[in-house]
Structure 1
Amino acid sequence: MPPKKAPAAEKKTLLGRPSNNLKIGIVGLPNVGKSSFFNALSKTDLGKAANFPYATINPEEARIPVPDPRFDWLCEVYKPSNRIPAFLTCIDIAGLTAGASTGAGLGNAFLSHVRAVDGIFQVVRAFDDAEVTHVEGDVDPLRDMEIIQTELRLKDIEWTEKALDALKKTTRGLGSTSLADRAKKEELATVERVLKTLTTDAKDVRKADWNNKEIDVINGLQLLTAKPVTYLVNLSEKDYVRKKNKWLPKIKAWIDANNPGDPLIPFSVALEERLAPLSDEEREEEQKNAGAVSALPKITQAGYASLDLIRYFTCGPVEVRAWTIRRGTKAPQAAGVIHSDFENKFVCGEIMAYEDLREHGSEAAVKAAGKLRQQGKPYEMVDGDVAYWKAGA
């Protein structure tokens, strides 16, 4: 008898909305540099930067091009008349204060704006400046991070308790025989476990281990602590240039203890504001003079990756374009990002890896090397694929 094949590992469902059009929100206490950071990142003055709390009330939105040397190389090779990189949609959200979960400050409006995004850039202030008041009176990043974590968790606990009460009402008197009844009971057990994670275990939802059925339930709850967080520490320009700040090791230790694995990126809003209006040549010169480079490309890439987003490319003399999809997307759904007809009438994809195109130098050479593959509906897209779609009439 031939040996039995090992069962294929179950594909892990991703936390969050099952969409390719995801957004990241800038979150933090008032006066930590959120709107100034948003303006520098988006090269706009949409964010209302001011030295008082709640200068931002309605969220501002901008699409930020995601730097990618692969895209730049493809543009050099194809010399297209149109170049469209991948974008990260970024939202500037009002400052959060202690008590927001019970409605203090702009509490409920703020938390509904956080609920509407898919990931979080948490801006943490680690610079002293007598000119810029701190809503808590003094600069203490650990206290600030604790406030935000507590407020997000408290709101999640409130929402989870409401969901639990509603479920308990509908599951009373259910039998255990029908599949629908069993599914309802499993949903109830998951929501109870979510509440235990937030209260007894004192953990963010994204830091617990969940199976696929549980993740489907959690995604329906739209919890704040299920969203990925990238910590951005705003330093003075002097500290950023010398790569030294008394708070950085303490912030790193706090993240390791509370949310291990979350990325931490130091940057300086003061430097970014100076660099933002400059031309590419001027920026290069200024970075050389300052002895430090902008952290914005790294921040944009980290935010994009935190949402489990990848891109594939379509190339030709008319257009080179990066298309954003979620990790694990199959070929027909990836084609559907361009047009729904490509998904509905999908035939196949002609796909080559970016690395193969780079190595061989042209499509013809990739084809001659036998590296151009025809892929059908089960194919899962890989970051950096170069694709041509074939669809039925």
Structure 2
Amino acid sequence: MPPKKAVEDVTSNVVAFGRVRKNLKMGCVGLPNVGKSSLFNLLTEQSAPAENYPFCTIEPNEARCAVPDARYDFLCDLWKPPSMYPAYLQVTDIAGLIKGASQGEGLGNAFLSHIQAVDGMFHIVRAFDNDEVLHVDDSIDPVRDLNTIQSELCKKDLDILQKTIVAEEAIVRKAGGKYKMLPLFTETTTKIKAMLETDKPVRDGSWTPAEILLINEKMQLITTKPVIYLVNLTMKDYLRQKSKYLPLIAKWVTEHGGTPRDIVPFSIEFEEKLYALREEPTKLEEFMKECKVKSKLDKIITEGFTKLGLQYYFTAGEKEIRCWTIQKGCLAPQAAGAIHGDFERGFIKAEVVAYQDFHDLCEGGKSMGPIKAAGKYRQEGKTYVVQDGDIIHFQFSMFLAFLPRTKRLLLASKAISAVPKIAKD
């Protein structure tokens, strides 16, 4: 009998700019005195300094905030387990940039390196008039501010690109003809340079998977990072849901590769008022009825989490409800690996029910009986793409999980008949 076909490892099918990991970070970016540190404090319930002068923040502040989710709340209320773990968004408060930051103005090079360390940006845009809050350019002009930040980030990326090219050329010279510059590298860097020289972010280009992998491997470009534009309004403008600056900002964003969803108007003044009333529920309820608008903090958190290309699935039971953060497009074995690496190595199958199916069919109980009866409880294999909000139970082989990788590959390639017998014993 001919040997069985070798079992191939199934790898992730996610190809995107940036790092592949679950604890990605959003950084608060913008000019000085636009509300970055105040927003950071509200999101994370921290007390980072937020004073009315430029460069109050020097070293970045880091914290995390729970991702709000009614699905998670429902599962926790249903099971009431002793342990409950929501998903978290990591947030970094980065000092303000000014014009000339890419040449070192205002400690700009240090601050730009802090932006390199995050994976996405909350670009806070000042759209409020207040003579008591200083503006580094002495006037309020959101479009000018947007151009300033984007220009500085593109200039920094040009510097990173040039250093990368020089380093690759040095490798070629040192190899003495044994190594040549890959055509893909030359074509990709030429394309990047043309974009950056016109202040166009790299994320707005059209890229093949091979080009994306090359950029991820060779360069740490800032303008590949996704952006959400948070427009900080006065409380008066936020309550009436209108501002003379919003149409100008929306026009700029859509002309520079963004979409309307990338713009989130909010008000630090309004959010701080809500936070001050958090321990006075009666006054808070009266205030909310009077103003007829809601807080945008939950939306900012969920949009930031989504913009990073993250999602999560649930494990649910009597002992624990937990959200496991993974990348969108993640396959079942890699999703199991979020719990423990051994789960990925020994993955056999995933027992899956979509959250909405469970919610609609559970009849207020914890049993999977009604879900199974309706045919909504599925068994999925290695090629299953995990969906946001799936409730999953993994099955894996302890035998395969703890075998060294070389032995696992040898067994798979030769399909040794003794494997089932050993596992059974």
Same fold (TM over 0.5): yes
**For residues 225-266 of structure 1, what are the alpha-carbon distances to aligned partners after superposition, in whole Å with 9 as ceiling and x for unaligned?**
100000000000010000111100000011111233260000
Contact 1:351 1:374 in 2 (8 A): yes
Contact 2:14 2:330 in 1 (8 A): no
Matched position secondary structure for 2:313: strand
Task: For residue 163 of structure 1, report the CA deviation from its aligned partner.
Answer: 1.2
Task: For residue 379 of structure 1, report the CA deviation from its aligned partner.
Answer: 1.5
Task: For residue 79 of structure 1, report the CA deviation from its aligned partner.
Answer: 2.0
The answer to whether 1:165 aligns with 2:163 is no
**For residues 190-235 of structure 1, what are the alpha-carbon distances to aligned partners after superposition, in whole Å with 9 as ceiling and x for unaligned?**
12211122125x4210000100000011113111110000000000
Worse-superposed segment, 270-279 or 204-213:
270-279
Task: For residue 62 of structure 1, report the CA deviation from its aligned partner.
Answer: 1.3
The answer to whether 1:335 aligns with 2:348 is no
The answer to whether 1:134 aligns with 2:132 is no
**For residues 171-199 of structure 1, what are the alpha-carbon distances to aligned partners after superposition, in whole Å with 9 as ceiling and x for unaligned?**
469999x9x858x2312221221112212
Contact 2:59 2:95 in 1 (8 A): yes
Matched position secondary structure for 1:13: coil
Task: For residue 376 of structure 1, report the CA deviation from its aligned partner.
Answer: 1.9
Cα pair distance change 1:173/1:102, threshold 3 Å: closer
Residue equivalent to 1:268: 267
Q: Distance in 1 between matches of 2:312 and 2:14?
A: 20
Contact 1:171 1:185 in 2 (8 A): no
TM-score, scaled to structure 1: 0.91
Contact 1:43 1:276 in 2 (8 A): no
Select the residue among 378, 388, 396 that pairs with 1:391: 396
Q: Structure 1 vs Structure 2: percent identity of aligned residues?
A: 46
The answer to whether 1:255 aligns with 2:273 is no
**For residues 326-354 of structure 1, what are the alpha-carbon distances to aligned partners after superposition, in whole Å with 9 as ceiling and x for unaligned?**
01111111111112221222222111111
**For residues 47-98 of structure 1, what are the alpha-carbon distances to aligned partners after superposition, in whole Å with 9 as ceiling and x for unaligned?**
2100111111111111111111111111222222222111100000011111
Select the residue among 372, 378, 381 that pairs with 1:373: 378
Q: Distance in 2 between matches of 1:323 and 1:224?
A: 27
Residue equivalent to 1:311: 312
> Which amino acid letter does the alignment assign opposite residue 326 of structure 1?
Q
Q: Distance in 2 between matches of 1:246 and 1:369?
A: 53
What is the alpha-carbon root mean square deviation over aligned residues?
2.1
Q: Distance in 2 between matches of 1:289 and 1:43?
A: 25
Task: For residue 12 of structure 1, report the CA deviation from its aligned partner.
Answer: 6.3
Unpaired segments ≥5 residues, structure 2: 1-11, 399-425
Q: Distance in 1 between matches of 2:290 and 2:320?
A: 37
Matched position secondary structure for 1:106: helix
> Which amino acid letter does the alignment assign opposite residue 263 of structure 1?
D
Runs of 4 or more off by more than 6 Å in structure 1?
172-176
Q: Distance in 2 between matches of 1:146 and 1:280?
A: 42
**For residues 87-125 of structure 1, what are the alpha-carbon distances to aligned partners after superposition, in whole Å with 9 as ceiling and x for unaligned?**
100000011111110111121110111000000000001
**Number of aligned residues:** 379
Matched position secondary structure for 1:329: coil
Residue equivalent to 1:103: 104
Matched position secondary structure for 2:392: strand
Matched position secondary structure for 1:276: helix
> Which amino acid letter does the alignment assign opposite residue 137 of structure 2?
E
Q: Distance in 2 between matches of 1:318 and 1:271?
A: 39
Cα pair distance change 1:159/1:280, threshold 3 Å: farther
Residue equivalent to 2:209: 212
Select the residue among 31, 34, 37 that pairs with 1:32: 34
Q: Distance in 2 between matches of 1:347 and 1:388?
A: 11
TM-score, scaled to structure 2: 0.85
Highest Rg: 1 or 2? Answer: 2
